[in-house]
Structure 1
């Protein structure tokens, strides 16, 4: 079921989301200051490519204060807009019963887009 969900996800826009994250990650990594943000965007790209069968969790020992500060910077630089786009797509997909699995994936991406520092992606 995970493979079918991922293939349908890719066909109906997941590949474009992943490419968008990849391009933004490359652009962010052009500067030394942007490298940590580019790495987090790569994390989003990987999850956006194959979201079914993966989940995110908070890392217990994740440089507490630094992760918090980086999440605040991330929120104001662009994380809010990424969160908002995934949240709105999630609501649109959740309107129908058929779109509910894809809505859940958008909500999962929205949470990661809001606070990517101090989180990791794991297999279910």
Structure 2
């Protein structure tokens, strides 16, 4: 069995660096963010000639607060159901409403991120 089996990118090319060049290449890769591997970073540079860094700051404090609030509400519904031993029709609607709220928050975050990417001039 070859290392190429099942790989989406079976073509390998070697690039040689001096120690100084390698240090600079790694520093540029780390500073660029966005690429998990050096291979992905190098591939984009070779194929497209540049790497654009798009920073999408998430309001993590606000997000954590909103998710915690929704989680508290979900726990309250669950405790109410457990205390009664059965669920009422309104319990399901309340849970669906809470889930829609959570999905709405995440959708707004995703839309904001997409708008930032679209505004950066980056294209896939």
- Bigger proportion of residues as strand: 1
Q: TM-score, normalised by structure 1?
A: 0.30
Higher gyration radius (CA) = 2
